[in-house]
Structure formats: structure tokens, C-alpha cells
Amino acid sequence: SSEVLEAIENVVLNVLTSLGNQKAPVLTVANRSDWRNIEFKDSVGLQMIPCCTIKKIRSDCSTSAPKFALMLKILSMIYKMVQSNTYATKRDIYYTDTLLFGSQTVVDNIINDISCMLRIPRRSLHILSTSKGSVAGNLSYTEEDGTKVNCTCSATVCIINSNNLISHAKFILIVEKDATFQRLLDDDFCNKLTPCIMITGRGVPDLNTRLLVRKLWDTFQIPIFTLMDADPHGVEIMCIYKYGSVSMSFEAHHLTVPSIKWLGLLPSDLNRLNICKDALIPFTKQDQKKLASIQKRPYVTRQPMLKRELEIMAASKMKAEIQVLTSLSSDYLSRVYLPNKLQFGGWI
């Protein structure tokens, strides 16, 4: 708490010093969307370099002055929350003055910029985010208020503040889509093969889901596999869990798990399983653009098997959802595909 308060006080002191010197105050923030600010490390994933390009939020410029004011506004809110040991969600902050902020996206971006500027993880700023992710399977824990939670009984949202995690799981399976997650729960997949933990971020994972994956890895050190669609969007999501994202690269050490394996659905699986071409979906221009972008990323050049799978996808210009396996049989995913993959290998 004292570190957060001191960091905010330093920002305000710089603003006051500038005003005292009759200069327009400026806030300096790392450019989180610039790939030139990112380096790839096998042990971490995508992380922001120390000497990165910056953007200046000026108070005397008509285009940036509104953002300057909003950053000070949210900094003052954070300061009060840390002092009083209270918390608020990003949604709560937006609704304190919807006319002032304009949109939830504006608030979200400013909070990330503040976290990056102060070099303090967002969760330490007393700002919470609601989670869209779910976790189920062989996992139990005790919440701070003493409530015992057993994820074996039902799916639980991916907000776990407790460090008292208990599990006998042999692996963790991250599932891209909620529909597939629910189907595997209906098939009792978490218990049929061997005890496991299943997680879904319902598409692109939010911060809480990524934090949970990292916490489970740090706690149990068991294999983590991903089950994604065989398309550029699925590959992107897998890479976020494994290597991180550009916009959150300043928090990479808390969010990424480079040891994550891509279990499926692999582009090479489509040929191996003789999936009918009529069941595949042609690429859109957006798909081609996304795949080309992924193929240029630094971690692809260091992963020959990943590179090969992307080349297969690019050559076919076809994509497939996990549900394509139902063309073989209704329960092929849980009865055949996943057990064979987990027993005999075939992941990246």
C-alpha cells in the first residue's frame, strides 16, 4: 500500500513542480501497443523492454488534455481506495461519472496505462475486474472469509484470492469456448480419464483467468494443455495464455506460462483424422491477415512445430471449430480424441 501511495504522490508532485515552474504538466506512459517495445524470452514470453518508446499525455494539447485529466481523476480514486483499504471494479469506476468517462473502454485503457506508468500490477491498485472465466474439476480452496469452495461439484468463476489451493489433478485443460467446456463437464471428463482441472476464458481470456492459470502453475507445476479451434483466432488465444499479449507485456511475469502445450485442435489433425472438407470453413480476409501477423511474431520462429502447423493452416486456407469432431461421432472429443492425445502425445 505504501508503495502505491508513494508512486501516486510522485506523479502529483511532478505535476505540481511543473505548474510551479510555469510549465505545462506532462504524464509519460510506455507505448503498450508498439511491438518495438517488446522482447521475447523463452522463460517469460512477451515482456516490455526497459528502454521503450513512450507517449506523452500533455495537459496543454487539445487532443490529450482530456486523457490527462481523466488519468489524474482515476489516480485520485485509487489513492483514496488504497488509503481506506477499499476496492472497486472497473465498472464501478466508470459508473461514478459515465458522462465524464464516456465509455468503459476509456476507463479500462486508462487503468492499464496507470498500472504501466506506476510499474505496479493492476490488482495492487485496489481495482478489481469481474471475471467471465470459469474453472471446474479437482480443485478446492478456502476463501478469505472462511468459505470452502469445491470446484468438483460445479463450475466456479475464475476469481480465487486464496493461496490455500488443494488438488490431486494430473493436468490442467484450458478450453477456448464455453460450449465445449460445458460439453466436457456433461461428459464428466474431469473424472473419467484421470483427475484434472478445466478452465475456460470464454474466448479471449480476461486478467482473472490468466492470473488463475499462472497461480495454478506456480502451485502445482502440472502439465497445462489448451484446446482451441483450428483457426487464427484460436491460435491467438493460445498464445495469450502461453506467451502473453503486447498490451499487458509490462505484467508478463505474473500472467504468462510458457510451458503451456497446444493439445488441439491442430491443423495437422484435420488431415490425420480425415475430416470431410465440407465440414471445414474457408478463410476470410481477416483470417488471412491475422494468421500472417501471428507468423511474423518472434516466438513462432523459435518453435518449428508451431511454425509448421501455421504453415499447414495457411496453405489450406481453411479453418475448423472443435465441434467439427462431432462429424466423427457425438462424443468423439471426450471419448477418443482427448484420451488418445493425452496418452500418446501429439501436442506442441
95: annotated active-site residue = yes
d(CA 235, CA 26): 39
Rg (CA), the chain: 22
Asked if 190 and 196 count as a contact pair (C-beta separation under 8 A), the reply is yes
Asked if 142 and 164 count as a contact pair (C-beta separation under 8 A), the reply is yes
3-state secondary structure 159-214: CCCCCCEECCCCEEEEECCHHHHHHHHHCCHHHHCCCEEEEECCCCCCHHHHHHHH
Residue 33 phi/psi, 5-degree rounding, is: -100, 5
H/E segment holding residue 148: strand 148-150
The catalytically annotated residue of 95, 241, 243, 332 is 95
SS3 percent helix, strand, coil of the chain, rounded to 5, is 50, 15, 35
Active site residues: 95
